[in-house]
Amino acid sequence: MNTVEQLTTVEMMEAETAKLKQIACDACAETWEDRVKTQTPHCKFGEEGICCKNCSMGPCRITSKAPRGICGADAHAIAARNYLRTIAAGTSAHSDHAREILHVLLSTSRDGNYQVRDEVKLVRLATEWGIATEGRDIYDIAHEVAETGLEEFGKSHGTLRFLKRAIPERQKVWADLGIEPRAIDREIATSLHMTHMGNTADADALIIQGLRTALSNGWGGSMLGTEITDILFGTPQVWTTEGNLGVLEADMVNVVVHGHDPAFSEMVVTATEIKELVDYAKSKGAKGINVVGLCCTANEVAMRHGVRMAGNFLQQENVILTGAVEMMCVDVQCIFPALAQLSECFHTKFVTSSPIARIPGSIYVEFKPETAFDQAKDLVKMAVENYDKRDRVKMYIPPTKQTATVGYPCEQIVKHLDGVTNSHVEELGSYRPAVDAIKSGVLRGAVGIVGCNNPRVRPDYSHFEILKELLANDILVVATGCAAQLATKAGLLSMEAKWQCGAGLRRVCDLVGIPPILHMGACVDISRILLLVNGIARDWGVDTTALPIVGCAPEWMSEKAVSIANYVVSSGIDVYLGIEPQIKGSSQMMELVTDGTRKLTGAGYIINTDPHMLVKSILDGIETKRAALGI
C-alpha cells in the first residue's frame, strides 16, 4: 500500500536540493536560488504590467501622479497590450515548434533519418483534411500532409482546419465572437501590429485578439505539433518508468535531453542504444549509457520509449550539480542560459542544437534532419569520451526516485475505457464510461493540472498539495508538462497512488486499470486535453462550459502558459491559476480575465496564490457545475 509516508514529499525534495546547493557553494557556482535573492523585490511596474516600452518616447510607467504614458495610453491599454504580446510570444513558441516538426515530416523517407511510425494516424489525418490516400505511397501522403500543415501558418484565406474538431456549440461561440483564428502567423502578426505604438488602446479589443491568438495555438500550432509528432515518432503508449534525480547512474555515462522538440531527443535516445556506442562506453569503464529526460522533453521520450525522467523545470541546475552528467543536450524552450556557466564548474558538456535557442558558452551543434542520426551518434560518442573526466569526489546523486506509469493520450484513455464498457453502453471508442462515472458521482469531476514550477511560490508545493486534495475528493486528474513531472517525483503517477484517492476514484482506477493521474504528455500536448474535454462534452451532449471539468496551473511561469490559459478559457473551460498574471495595475484587465471572458466564452480565470484556497475553489467550482447539471 502506498501511504502518505511512501510519497516523496516536498520537504524531502527540498532536503536533496539543499545538499546539491552545498555542492554549488563549494564549487562557487551560482543557482536560481541566488538569483531570486538578487532580483527581489521585483519591479512593481513590471509585476503589475503597467510599464510600456513600445516606443522610444518611453519607457512610460503608470502611477497615480502619471496616469498616462506620453502618447496618452492609460494603465488598461498598457497592461492589455503587454498581455497580448505575452500571448503572441507563447503562441509563437508552440507553433514554431510545430513548424519544425512539420519540416521533419517533409524530410521523411524509407531510408532517411526520419520515418513515419504511426501510419494509421497519418492516414486518418490525411482523410480529415481531404487528402487522397487510396493507392498512394505512405511517404507521398506524409509529404502532402506536411505541406498542408505548413499552409496553416500563412494561408491567405479561411480559418484553421482543426477548429472543426471542436463541438458545434464551441464553433458557434467562436464564430459569433469573430475569434476563429485565420493563419497562425497572421494572428501573431496581428497581435504585434495591434500593440505597436499608436494602435489599439481598448483593453476589450486586445483581450478578444488574445483569445483568437491563443486559439491559433491550442487548435492550431500545439495540435499540429502533437499530431505530427505522433505520426513521426509513434502515438504514446503506456509505460512504467521512474522519475527524480535517482535515475542518474553512478557507473554509467549519463546523457540528459532537455527542452521540447522531440526531433532532436528521439535521435539522441536512439543513438544511446547503438551497440557500438554502448560497447565504447564499456571500453571506457562505464556499465553502459543512461539517457534521461528533463522538463517536457522528458515527457516526450518517457511516453514513447519509457525513458526515465530526471525532473522538472527548476531541477535543471540540480541535474548538473550532481556532477554525474557527461552531457546535457538541449533543443528549445525553458532552458536556463545559466546552464552553460554552471556546466563549466563540472565536467558536463552542455550542447545546444537549435538556432532558436543559442546560448553563449555552450557547444553548438546545429541539428539538421538530413544529418540527424550521425550528429546524434557523434554527440553520444563525445559524452562517452567525457566519462573519465568525472570528478567522483564531487559527485552526489540523490537516491530518491519513484515509479511512474505514463503515456495516456486520448487513444489510450479510450482504449482503457473500452476495456470496462458496461453492458448498457453499446458504443465502443467513446468516453461514455467516464461520463457515467461522473454523472453517478463515483467521480465528482476531472481537472487538468498543467504548467511549470516557479520560485514566486514554494516550488512544487502547490502542485503537491492540490494534487493530493483532488485525489482525496474523487477528482480524476490529467497532467502534462512540469506538473506531471512533480507528480512523478512525488510518486503520484504510480498505480499505487490509488491509495491517496477517495473510494470512488480508487474504484475507477481498479476497474479501468489506470493510475489516478493520467500523464498526457508535454506542454504542447495540452491540445490532447482539449480533444479529451470536447470528446466528453460530445458524449454527454452539453457544451464544455457545463462540464465539471476545469484546468489548473498552480505554478505557471512561461509566456506559453499564458497562451495556453487563454485557449483553454476560449474553449469554455475555467482556469485556476496559482500565480497572478502581470496585469494587476489595471482593474479593467483583472475584471476582463476573470468575469469578462466568462461573458464571452463561458469561462474565465480564478486566481489564488494560496494552494489550499485554490483547491477549495476548484472543488466548489466543480460542485457548482454538478448542481447546475442536476447531478
Contacts with ligand SF4 by CB under 6 A lie at 52-55, 57-60, 69-71, 73, 78, 197
Q: In sequence order, which residues have a C-beta less than 8 Å from that of residue 301 and are 6 or more positions away? A: 257, 262, 265, 266, 269, 291, 293, 307
Out of 295, 526, 536, 589, point to the residue binding ligand MSK (CB under 6 A). Answer: 295
When CB distances are held under 5 to 8 angstroms depending on the partner's kind, the choice from ligand MSK, ligand SF4, none that residue 59 binds is ligand SF4
Cβ distance 108 to 119 under 8 Å?
no
Shortest distance, position 260 Cβ to ligand MSK, whole Å: 6
Nearer of residues 195 and 494 to ligand SF4, judged by Cβ: 195
Nearer of residues 83 and 408 to ligand SF4, judged by Cβ: 83
Residue 353 gets which letter from DSSP?
Answer: -
Where do we find the cell 509528432? 229
Burial of 130 (0-12, 13-18, 19+ CB in 10 A): exposed
Nearer of residues 85 and 528 to ligand SF4, judged by Cβ: 85
Closest CA to 572 of 179, 151, 160, 68: 179
**Binding characters for ligand MSK, 501-530, by CB under 6 A (x = yes):** ---------------------xx-------
Out of 114, 219, 264, 313, point to the residue binding ligand MSK (CB under 6 A). Answer: 313
Residue 40 gets which letter from DSSP?
Answer: P
Beta-bridge partners for 470: none
Shortest distance, position 68 Cβ to ligand SF4, whole Å: 8
Q: How far is CA 584 from the centre of its chain?
A: 25
Nearer of residues 195 and 297 to ligand SF4, judged by Cβ: 195
Q: Does position 231 bind ligand MSK by CB under 6 A?
A: no
Q: Does position 291 bind ligand MSK by CB under 6 A?
A: no
Nearer of residues 519 and 560 to ligand MSK, judged by Cβ: 560
When CB distances are held under 5 to 8 angstroms depending on the partner's kind, the choice from ligand MSK, ligand SF4, none that residue 106 binds is none
Q: Does position 536 bind ligand MSK by CB under 6 A?
A: no
Cβ distance 607 to 594 under 8 Å?
yes
Out of 69, 225, 433, 451, point to the residue binding ligand MSK (CB under 6 A). Answer: 451
Q: Does position 98 bind ligand MSK by CB under 6 A?
A: no
Cβ distance 590 to 605 under 8 Å?
no
Q: Would you tell me how many other CB atoms lie within 10 Å of the CB of residue 306?
A: 16
Cβ distance 465 to 378 under 8 Å?
no
Closest CA to 444 of 630, 622, 628: 622
Nearer of residues 334 and 478 to ligand MSK, judged by Cβ: 334
Where do we find the cell 506531471? 484
Q: Does position 596 bind ligand MSK by CB under 6 A?
A: no
Q: Which of residues 598-617 bind ligand MSK (CB under 6 A)?
A: none
CA–CA gap between residue 33 and residue 435 (Å, rounded): 44
H, E, C per residue of 170-223: HHHHHHHHCCCCCCHHHHHHHHHHHCCCCCCCCHHHHHHHHHHHHHHHHHHHHH
Amino acid at 65: K
Out of 214, 334, 467, 603, point to the residue binding ligand MSK (CB under 6 A). Answer: 334
Shortest distance, position 204 Cβ to ligand SF4, whole Å: 19
Shortest distance, position 562 Cβ to ligand MSK, whole Å: 11
CA–CA gap between residue 130 and residue 624 (Å, rounded): 42
Out of 296, 301, 335, 530, point to the residue binding ligand MSK (CB under 6 A). Answer: 296
Q: Which of residues 470-499 bind ligand MSK (CB under 6 A)?
A: 481-482
Nearer of residues 121 and 260 to ligand MSK, judged by Cβ: 260
Out of 244, 558, 571, 582, point to the residue binding ligand MSK (CB under 6 A). Answer: 558
When CB distances are held under 5 to 8 angstroms depending on the partner's kind, the choice from ligand SF4, ligand MSK, none that residue 197 binds is ligand SF4
Ramachandran angles phi, psi of 325, nearest 5°: -105, 120
Nearer of residues 69 and 90 to ligand SF4, judged by Cβ: 69
Q: Does position 327 bind ligand MSK by CB under 6 A?
A: no
Shortest distance, position 264 Cβ to ligand MSK, whole Å: 15
Nearer of residues 200 and 453 to ligand MSK, judged by Cβ: 453
When CB distances are held under 5 to 8 angstroms depending on the partner's kind, the choice from ligand MSK, ligand SF4, none that residue 431 binds is none
- Between strands 51-52 and 253-258, the pairing is unpaired
CA–CA gap between residue 137 and residue 128 (Å, rounded): 18
CA–CA gap between residue 590 and residue 495 (Å, rounded): 40
Binding-site residue total for ligand MSK (CB under 6 A)?
Answer: 13
What residue ranges bind ligand MSK (CB under 6 A)?
Answer: 260, 295-296, 313, 334, 451-452, 481-482, 522-523, 558, 560
